Structure formats: structure tokens, C-alpha cells
Amino acid sequence: MRIVKTWKNLAPQDRGASVALGNFDGVHRGHQSVIALAARATRAKGGKLGVISFDPHPRRIFQPEAPAFRLMSADQQARALAALGVDLFYVLPFDAEMAGLSDADFARQVLHEGLGVRNVAVGFDISFGKGRTGSPATMQTYGAELGFGVSVADAVGDGQGPKFSSSAVREALRDGLPELAARILGRPFAIEGMVEHGRQLGRKLGFPTANVALSDYVTPRFGVYATRTRLPDGREIAGVANIGISPTVDGITAPRLEVWLFDFDEDIYDQVIETDLVAFLRDEEKFASLEVMTAQIMADAQTARDLLLPAF
């Protein structure tokens, strides 16, 4: 998959795709239905399959004080799209120029003149252009005027909960429901980041942890989770993790992921790992002593082992 970071003066091989348009944070099952429509148009009209997204996320520009909300890192998003067969990933700069384009200007200047799209697939609730005045209906009008097709995806759900959306994933995570988040995403929610050096308190207490900052990720419910972690070499290791500020230990102010990888004792500092949240076990709490905390963590670890590594 090729990543393209502009819509101006593109080479011929980077134009003429059938594209899916949206932010695609999470690449959840609703997003996948929009991309599937773009893929169908690609098969019918030829050319390449493309996805258009924006960096930074428009919410970061219009709501700069909003809490962290991302469901994916840029690398995770790129991998998820590549797995769906996307050929061109347009990560367009959401700058003052882009923010100032009307919906008509966006359709003409970016989609038609810049990218030369053959077809645009959008979700049923998309809005675009300055003031968010664009809609699926206006996109169909612009497509008819400018000569590109438009496909509109219906709302997607499984009848067991909310419609599939990034907002629903965030709500599930904040409520401590990683299984619901996974059902909407089509895979577990995962936090990816570099393992940071810490005080090695966990190692001294018998449960060495790999510590990863949450960065721009949405903050899940503080607490303890059963997890699976992928290492850079591809190994996947079961574990138990705390997300929060570890209130029993002084000096931690920024929420982070602290994951204990079971039956693992290797140096992975400064390596990038990716940890799936599989199940929520309990809320984070402040203990009366390190000894009480350690006993509870050992019990949590056994619960996670029983869940993730059932005996045969």
C-alpha cells in the first residue's frame, strides 16, 4: 500500500482511484462496509482502491481541548487498511486551506481536480466541507456534475448493541467493555507504543511490567485487564495489565499501560509492542500497602491466565 500525503500535483499512478472517504479512526466494521463499496466500484471501473483520511484529525483542530480520543496510531491504521486490500492511502493535511474549503470546493478541487477519483464511497452520516455542510446527497450531486460515481453505505450493526461507530467504541472502552469494543471493531482494541524505562518496582515485587504511555489514545476505564501482547518479532504473549495511574505508588500522574507478560523475561525496553485488551477484570484501586497490592495482582494474574490460557 502506498501512502500519499497531498492532493496536489500527483503523479498519474496516484490518481484515478475509487476511494472511501472518512476519518476511519478504528477501521471498524462500519468503516469496512464503506471501503467494501469502494472496492466494488474498483472492480467495476478499474483502477486502484483508495482511502482518504486526514491528519491531524479535524476534531483535534476544532476541539483542541477535548480529551484524547484516538482508537489507533497511524501505523495501526495503515496496517488495517493494507489488510483490506487498499492500494492508496491518502492522508491529506487538515490545515487552514483544507478547513476553509466549502463542500463544493472540496468535491471539485480535491476529489475531482486533485485526485481524479472515479468513485467516492461515503457513510450514511458523513459531513464534509467548511461548516460541515456537505452530506451524502450533496456528494451525489457533485459527482453527477463532475463525472465521478458516488456510493453511500447504510448504517451497520449486528442487532445486539449500538450501530457500529468510532463513538460507540470509545464509549465501550470508557465503560470497561472491551468485548463490546472488539465486536464493533472486528478485532480487539489495541494500544501500541514504545516500552519505557521505569523504576522497576514491579520486577522487585515479582511481576515485571512493560510500561507504555497512552499518548493520544482514548483512555479506557482505569483498571485491570486480561491482555495479549505482540512483540516486534511476531510473538504473542498473554498477560495482565493495569491502565491508570497506579495510585498505590506515588509519583505517577499520566495514565499509562503497565502489562505483565506471563512466562517472559527478556529486555524489551525501547521496543514497540501492541497490547490487546481482552477482558476487564476489576477497577483500579489504592491499596493499604505494597504487600496487599502484590497479593491482589497475583490473584488478577491467575484470573487472566484462566481466561487466556485454559487448561486442556
278 within 8 A of 230, measured Cβ to Cβ: no
Amino acid 264: pLDDT = 93
Looking at the predicted structure, is the pLDDT value of residue 294 above 80? yes
Give the position of cell 468503516. 31
Q: Is residue 164 part of a domain?
A: no
Q: 13-33: per-residue pLDDT in tens?
A: 999 999 999 999 999 999 999
Residues 194 and 83 both lie in one domain: no
Residues 113 and 46 both lie in one domain: yes
> Of all residues in the chain, what percent carry a pLDDT higher than 70?
94
Mean pLDDT of 266-273: 94
Q: Is residue 165 part of a domain?
A: no
Residues 9 and 137 both lie in one domain: yes
Give the position of cell 451497520. 156
pTM equals 0.91
Query: Domain total for the chain?
Result: 2
For residue 214, the one-letter residue type is L
Residues 149 and 78 both lie in one domain: yes
Please compute, for residue 81, the number of CA atoms within 13 A of its CA located in the half-sphere on the CB side: 33
Q: Is residue 77 part of a domain?
A: yes
Q: At 202, is the pLDDT very low, low, confident or very high (cuts 50, 70, 90)?
A: low
Q: Is residue 102 part of a domain?
A: yes
Domain end, chosen from 153, 171, 198, is at: 153
Domain end, chosen from 133, 153, 173, is at: 153
Q: 224-265: per-residue pLDDT in tens?
A: 999 999 999 999 999 999 999 877 666 566 889 999 999 998
Looking at the predicted structure, is the pLDDT value of residue 12 above 60? yes
Look at residues 51, 39, 37 and name the one whose alpha carbon lies nearest to residue 1.
Answer: 51
Residues 126 and 255 both lie in one domain: no
Amino acid 139: pLDDT = 97
Residues 141 and 206 both lie in one domain: no
Q: Is residue 172 part of a domain?
A: no
> Of all residues in the chain, what percent carry a pLDDT higher than 90?
78
Residues 27 and 90 both lie in one domain: yes
Residues 96 and 193 both lie in one domain: no
CATH number at residue 53: 3.40.50.620
Q: At 200, is the pLDDT very low, low, confident or very high (cuts 50, 70, 90)?
A: low
Q: Is residue 248 part of a domain?
A: yes
Residues 24 and 111 both lie in one domain: yes
Calculate ∠ Cα 22-227-291, nearest 5°: 135
Considering only residues 163 and 150, tell me which one the structure prediction assigns the higher pLDDT. Answer: 150
Amino acid 205: pLDDT = 59
What domain range includes position 216?
Answer: 189-308
Q: 106-147: per-residue pLDDT in tens?
A: 999 999 999 999 999 999 999 999 999 999 999 999 999 999
Residues 8 and 148 both lie in one domain: yes
Q: At 312, is the pLDDT very low, low, confident or very high (cuts 50, 70, 90)?
A: very low
Q: Outline where DSSP puts E strands in 180-297.
A: 190-194, 210-213, 223-230, 236-244, 256-261, 272-283
